[in-house]
A and B are shown apart, each in its own frame.
Chain A
Amino acid sequence: MKLRNIWIVYRKELRDSLRDRRTLIAMVVVPILIMPLISIGVGTLMAKIMGEAKKEIPRVMILGGEDSPKTQEALESYKEITAERGSADYVQLISDKKVRAAVEIPPDFDAAMARGEQLTVKIYDYEGDLKSGVAAEKLEKFFNDLSTRTVQERLAAKNLPATLIKPFELKTQNVAPPEKVSGAVLGGFIPYFVIILSLTGAMYPAIDLTAGEKERGTIETILCSRVSRTHLVLGKFFMVLTASLTTAILAMISMGGSFKVAKRILAGMAGGADNPLQFSIGIKAILAVFLMALPITVFFSAALLAIALLAKSYKEAQSYISPLMIVVILPAIAGMLPGTELSGRLSLIPVLNTTLVCKEIVSGTYHWHQIGIIFLSTCVYAAAALFIAVKQFNREDVLFRT
C-alpha cells in the first residue's frame, strides 16, 4: 500500500511535469542542445580562428639592419611574413594591431656574425594576442633556421661533421592512452557539465512540485487526500530525481555524440595534428561518471525540494534557488581548474569531490579508496537532504506559510 501510494504520486507528477514546458526545456532540450553548441560551435570557432591566424601573412617591422643587407634581404624575401621598414612608433603600431610584431637587428649584425661574435636579436610582440604570437613564432623560426645554417657553414668551413654540435637526436613519445590525454584537457569539463545540468534539470520540477503547488492552491487539495505526507514527498522526490537523471543522461549521450561529430569536423579543418578533441572516453568511464553522479543528483533533488518548499510562490522559490546555483557552480569550477587535485580533505566537500573524482575517472585513473569515500560521503549528504525534505513536508508552518 505504501509503495503503491508513492508510485501513484510519482506517476501523476511525471505526467504533470511532462506537460510543463519549462520542465521539458530544462530536462530535455537544454542538455541535448548545449553539448553540440559548446563542442561543435566553440570547437569549430576556435579551429577557424587558429587556422586564420596561421594562414595570415603577418606584417612585421624590421628595426635597424641597414648595415646588414644580407639579413635584411633574407628577411624581406621570407615568404611567411610581409616585412617593412621600421619606424620609431613600432610599439604603438603593434598595440594598434597595424603590424603584428617587430624585430630589432643589432648594428653591424652581418659583419659581427662573420667574425663569430654573439649579438642579441630582439623580437617584439603583443603577448596574449594570437596573431601577434603567430608572427613572433615565424620570426623566431627564421632566426633559428639562420642560426642552424650559420653553424653548419662554420663547421663545414673547418671540415667538421654536423654531429659535433648535435651528438644525438631527442624525441619525446607519449605513452599515455588517448583518454589520459583527453582527461587532462576535458576531464574537468565533463563532470562540470553533468553536475550543472543535473542541477538545472531538477530545479524546475522541484519548484513546480512545491512552491508551484502552493501558488496554484493544489497543496491543500492533495493534503486532504488519503496519502501521507511522507509518501507524497517521496513521490515528488522521485519525480525530481527522474528529471535530474534524465538531464544528466541526455547530457552525456549528447556529449558523446557531439564530440564525435566535432572531432570529425576539426580533423578535416586542422589536419588532425592540432585537433584539440583528439581523444576517446571509454564506456567504463562513462558508466563510472554516471555512478558517481547518482548520489549527487539525489542530493540536489532532495535539497531543492526542501528549499523550494519554503517559498510561497514560483518567483520566491527562484530567488532562493539562484544563490544555490552559485554555491554549486563555484566548487564545480574549482574542480575544473587544471591544478586542483583530489586530497583527503577535498574528498569530503560535496560537488567539488565528485567533480574531481570524475575528472580522474575520465582521464583513466581509478583510486578506488577515494572513489569509495566520495560515493559514501555524497550518499550521506543525499540522505540528510532527503531527511530534511521529508521533515519540511511535515511542518505546518512551512506548508501554510502566510
Chain B
Amino acid sequence: MIEAERLSKVFHDKKRGEVRAVNDVSFICKPGQIYGLLGANGAGKTTTLRMLATILEPTSGTARVAGFDLLKDPENVRANVGFLSTATALYGRLTAQEMVEYFGRLYGLDDPTIERRINEIFTRLEMNDFRNRRCDKLSTGMKQKVSIARTLVHDPPVMIFDEPTIGLDVMAARTIVQFIRECRDHGKTVIFSTHVMSEVEKLCDQIGIIHGGILLAEGTLADLRQRYSLHDLEDIFVRIVEPHMLMEAVGS
C-alpha cells in the first residue's frame, strides 16, 4: 500500500529561483492494483516517484509505503520497495549474477536465500544463459531483465516504475509491461509513471493525471471517460491539462 499525503517538493534553481516540482500531491495505491501516473515531461512524475522511493526527501507532506513512513523510517521503506526506471542503470563491470547478488546482500538477505531467489528469478526470466556475462556486454533486452531481477531479489511488496519503457524497442518494452502485470497478479502494490497513453489503457487500474506538479484528476479509466464524456484517453488528458497550460502561458 502507498498513501501519499500532500507531498510537495521545492527545488532551488539559480536561474529560475524556487521551483515547485510537486505540489500537494495525495493519492492512495492499493495492493493488487496498478496506479498509473500520467503526465507530460516535467510534470513532476519522476520527482513524486523518487520521493516515494526515498531517493529525494519531500519538502513537505509525507507518505506511508508498506506501512512505513518516508520521513521517519526511510530504510524500511527502501527494504519494501523495488524501484525501476531507465535511469537505474547496471554496473557494467559486474556480471548479471554479481549485480543481483550485490543488491540481495544490501537488502540483508543471507547467501542461501540469495542463491534460491536468483535461481528462481533467472529461470523465470530465462536469464541462465547470460548469468555470468558482464552487464556491459549484454543487449538492451538482457539488461532490462537484469534490472527486473535486481528489483525482485528481495521480493518487495511495493513496486515503483518510473517511465520504465522509455527508449526501449518493442520487445524489451513488452518484457517490462508483462513484468508489471505479473507484479499486480502477485498482489504487489504497483505505481508507474508514463506519458504513453496506450500503456496506461492496457495496464492501469487507477490513473492520476499530473501537470505542473499538481494532481489534476484521478480515477479509473471508466470514471474518467464518464466524467469528461470522452472515450480516448489522449483526448481526456488534453481536456484536463490544456486549461492549465493556457494559464501558464498567460502567466509567463
Smallest Cβ distance from B103 to chain A, in angstroms?
6
Encode contact with A along B143-155: 1 for CB under 8 Å, 0 otherwise.
Answer: 0000000100010
**Complex contact B107–A226 (CB within 8 A):** yes
Q: If the complex has contacts A225-B106, A226-B106, are A217 and B87 also in contact, measured as CB distance less than 8 A? A: yes
Encode contact with B along A215-247: 1 for CB under 8 Å, 0 otherwise.
Answer: 011101101111110000000000000000000
Smallest Cβ distance from A19 to chain B, in angstroms?
4
Smallest Cβ distance from A267 to chain B, in angstroms?
46
**Complex contact A220–B85 (CB within 8 A):** yes
Q: If the complex has contacts A5-B106, A226-B107, are A16 and B81 also in contact, measured as CB distance less than 8 A? A: no
**Complex contact A221–B55 (CB within 8 A):** no
**CB-defined contacts of B219 to chain A, threshold 8 Å:** none
Residue of A8, A225, A400 touching B78 (CB-CB under 8 A): A225
**Complex contact B90–A218 (CB within 8 A):** yes
Docked complex: A147-178 residues within 8 A CB-CB of B:
none
Q: Among the interface residues A8, A217, A226, A227, which one has the most CB atoms of the partner chain B within 10 A?
A: A226
**Complex contact B87–A16 (CB within 8 A):** no
Determine whether A15 belongs to the interface, using a CB cutoff of 8 Å to chain B.
yes
**Complex contact B87–A227 (CB within 8 A):** no
Give the secondary structure class of B's interface: loop
Determine whether A20 belongs to the interface, using a CB cutoff of 8 Å to chain B.
yes
**CB-defined contacts of A217 to chain B, threshold 8 Å:** 87-89
**CB-defined contacts of A8 to chain B, threshold 8 Å:** 102, 105-106
Q: If the complex has contacts A225-B106, A226-B106, are A20 and B89 also in contact, measured as CB distance less than 8 A? A: no
Determine whether A12 belongs to the interface, using a CB cutoff of 8 Å to chain B.
yes
Smallest Cβ distance from A76 to chain B, in angstroms?
74
Q: If the complex has contacts A5-B106, A223-B55, A226-B106, are A218 and B89 also in contact, measured as CB distance less than 8 A? A: yes
**CB-defined contacts of A218 to chain B, threshold 8 Å:** 88-91
Q: If the complex has contacts A216-B92, A218-B91, A220-B55, are A225 and B103 also in contact, measured as CB distance less than 8 A? A: yes
**Complex contact A15–B88 (CB within 8 A):** no
**Complex contact A12–B102 (CB within 8 A):** yes
Determine whether A396 belongs to the interface, using a CB cutoff of 8 Å to chain B.
yes
**CB-defined contacts of A396 to chain B, threshold 8 Å:** 56-57
Determine whether B120 belongs to the interface, using a CB cutoff of 8 Å to chain A.
no
- Complex CA–CA separation, A217 to B162 (angstroms): 14
Determine whether B75 belongs to the interface, using a CB cutoff of 8 Å to chain A.
yes
**CB-defined contacts of B79 to chain A, threshold 8 Å:** 226
**Complex contact A16–B91 (CB within 8 A):** yes
Determine whether A3 belongs to the interface, using a CB cutoff of 8 Å to chain B.
no
Determine whether B83 belongs to the interface, using a CB cutoff of 8 Å to chain A.
yes
Q: If the complex has contacts A224-B81, A400-B56, are A19 and B106 also in contact, measured as CB distance less than 8 A? A: no
Determine whether A273 belongs to the interface, using a CB cutoff of 8 Å to chain B.
no
Determine whether B108 belongs to the interface, using a CB cutoff of 8 Å to chain A.
yes
- Nearest residue, chain B, Cβ from A223: B55
- Complex CA–CA separation, A216 to B86 (angstroms): 11
**CB-defined contacts of B105 to chain A, threshold 8 Å:** 8
**CB-defined contacts of B89 to chain A, threshold 8 Å:** 216-218, 220-221
Residue of B75, B91, B92 touching A228 (CB-CB under 8 A): B75
**Complex contact A12–B93 (CB within 8 A):** no
Q: If the complex has contacts A224-B55, A224-B88, A226-B108, are A16 and B93 also in contact, measured as CB distance less than 8 A? A: yes
Q: Among the interface residues A15, A224, A396, which one has the most CB atoms of the partner chain B within 10 A?
A: A224
**CB-defined contacts of A227 to chain B, threshold 8 Å:** 106
**CB-defined contacts of B78 to chain A, threshold 8 Å:** 224-226
Smallest Cβ distance from A126 to chain B, in angstroms?
58
Residue of B12, B54, B88 touching A221 (CB-CB under 8 A): B88
**CB-defined contacts of B83 to chain A, threshold 8 Å:** 224
Smallest Cβ distance from B45 to chain A, in angstroms?
15
**Complex contact A15–B55 (CB within 8 A):** no
- Nearest residue, chain B, Cβ from A224: B83
- Nearest residue, chain B, Cβ from A9: B106
**Complex contact B57–A226 (CB within 8 A):** no
**Complex contact A15–B94 (CB within 8 A):** yes
- Nearest residue, chain B, Cβ from A5: B106
Docked complex: A383-400 residues within 8 A CB-CB of B:
396-397, 400
Q: Provide a sorted-by-A list of 7 A–B residue pairs whose CB atoms are within 8 angstroms.
A: A8-B102, A20-B93, A218-B90, A220-B88, A221-B150, A225-B106, A226-B78
Chain A residues proximal to chain B, CB less than 8 Å: 1, 5, 8-9, 12, 15-16, 19-20, 216-218, 220-221, 223-228, 396-397, 400
Chain B residues proximal to chain A, CB less than 8 Å: 12, 53-57, 75, 78-79, 81, 83, 85, 87-94, 98, 102-103, 105-108, 150, 154
Task: Using A15-B93, A217-B88, A224-B54 as known contacts, list a sample of 16 further A-B pairs with CB atoms less than 8 Å apart, ordered by residue number in A.
Answer: A15-B98, A16-B91, A20-B93, A216-B89, A217-B87, A220-B55, A220-B89, A221-B89, A224-B88, A225-B78, A225-B106, A225-B107, A226-B78, A227-B106, A228-B75, A397-B12
